[in-house]
Amino acid sequence: MISTNDVKPGMTLDLDDGIFQIVEYQHVKPGKGRAFVKMKLKNIINGVVVERTFRADEKVQQAFVERKVHQYLFNDHLGYHFMDVEEYGQVVLDAGDIGDAASYLKDGDQVHLAFYDGRLVGIDLPTSVELLVVESEPGVKGDRSSAGTKPAKVETGRIVQVPLFVNEGDRIKVDTRTGAYMTRVT
C-alpha cells in the first residue's frame, strides 16, 4: 500500500476496477476542508482514461508492472511470436492482444511488453517506425482536392496518407500513436 501523497505520474495502481497508470497528478489544498488528490488515470488493459479524486493520505495498492524488451520474430496461424532479448524465451500473442500495433510490426523490431502477475497487460511500441512504401499512385502536380496527400500502402499492409512527392520504394517515418506520416527517410 502507498499513500496518495507519495504517488507520481507513471506509477501504476491496482484499484477495484482495474490496473491504472497515473497520467497526471494534482494535490489540492482548499481554503476550507480537507486536502484531496486529483488524478488522471489510464487503464493499462483497455486504454480508457478516467479522472479520480482521492482523500489526501488515502492508501492505495501499488501495482508492479514488469516491462521487458522483446523482439518481434514473425506471425503465423498460432499468433504473433516475440522473443525476450535477455532470457531468449518466446511468447506467442494472438491478434486481440496485439490490436492496432500489428500494423507497425516488422521482423526484428523491438517492443516493450508489460506483464502484471504473469499476464500480458500491454505492448509499448516506439514513438515512430520506419516503413517501406510498397504501393502508391503517382502524385499529380495539379491535384489539390485531397490537400496534397494520397494513400500509400506500407510493407505491413497499413494505409498511410502521405504527401504527393512520396513514391513506391521510399522509406517513411510513421507516428505509432496517431498513424500519421512524419517524414521521408533517406
Give me the CATH number covering residue 83: 2.40.50.140
| Residue ranges making up the domain that contains 178 | 128-185
Cα(57)–Cα(72) distance, rounded to whole angstroms? 42
Q: Mind giving me the DSSP string for the chain? A: -EETTS--TT-EEEETTEEEEEEEEEEE--SSS--EEEEEEEETTT--EEEEEEETT-EEPBP--EEEEEEEEEEETTEEEEEETTT--EEEE-HHHHGGGGGG--TT-EEEEEEETTEEEEEE--SEEEEEEEEEPPPPTT--TTTTEEEEEETTS-EEEEETT--TT-EEEEETTT--EEEEE-
Q: What is the CATH number of the domain that holds 20?
A: 2.30.30.30
Query: Within this chain, do residues 145 and 168 fall inside the same structural domain, yes or no?
Result: yes
Query: Within this chain, do residues 176 and 133 fall inside the same structural domain, yes or no?
Result: yes
Taking residues 144-171, report their average pLDDT: 85
Q: Which among 42, 60, 78 is the end of a domain?
A: 60
Give the mean pLDDT of the chain: 86
Q: Which among 124, 139, 158 is the end of a domain?
A: 124
pLDDT of 142 higher than 70: no
End-to-end Cα spacing for the chain = 51
Grid coordinates representing 132?
A: 517501406
Query: Within this chain, do residues 56 and 72 fall inside the same structural domain, yes or no?
Result: no
Q: Which among 104, 124, 144 is the end of a domain?
A: 124
Query: Within this chain, do residues 137 and 107 fall inside the same structural domain, yes or no?
Result: no
Query: Within this chain, do residues 56 and 71 fall inside the same structural domain, yes or no?
Result: no
What pLDDT shows up at residue 57? Answer: 85
Provide the domain count of the chain: 3
Beta partners for 43?
20
pLDDT digits (tens, 9 = 90+) for 73-129: 998 888 899 999 999 989 898 888 787 888 888 888 899 888 888 878 778 888 899
What percentage of the chain has pLDDT greater than the value 70?
95
Query: Within this chain, do residues 6 and 45 fall inside the same structural domain, yes or no?
Result: yes
Query: Within this chain, do residues 174 and 135 fall inside the same structural domain, yes or no?
Result: yes
What pLDDT shows up at residue 40? Answer: 92
Among 23-27, 52-56, 87-91, 143-147, the range scoring the smallest mean pLDDT is 143-147
Query: Within this chain, do residues 26 and 73 fall inside the same structural domain, yes or no?
Result: no
Query: Within this chain, do residues 94 and 51 fall inside the same structural domain, yes or no?
Result: no
Query: Within this chain, do residues 95 and 143 fall inside the same structural domain, yes or no?
Result: no
pLDDT of 145 higher than 80: no
Query: Within this chain, do residues 137 and 119 fall inside the same structural domain, yes or no?
Result: no
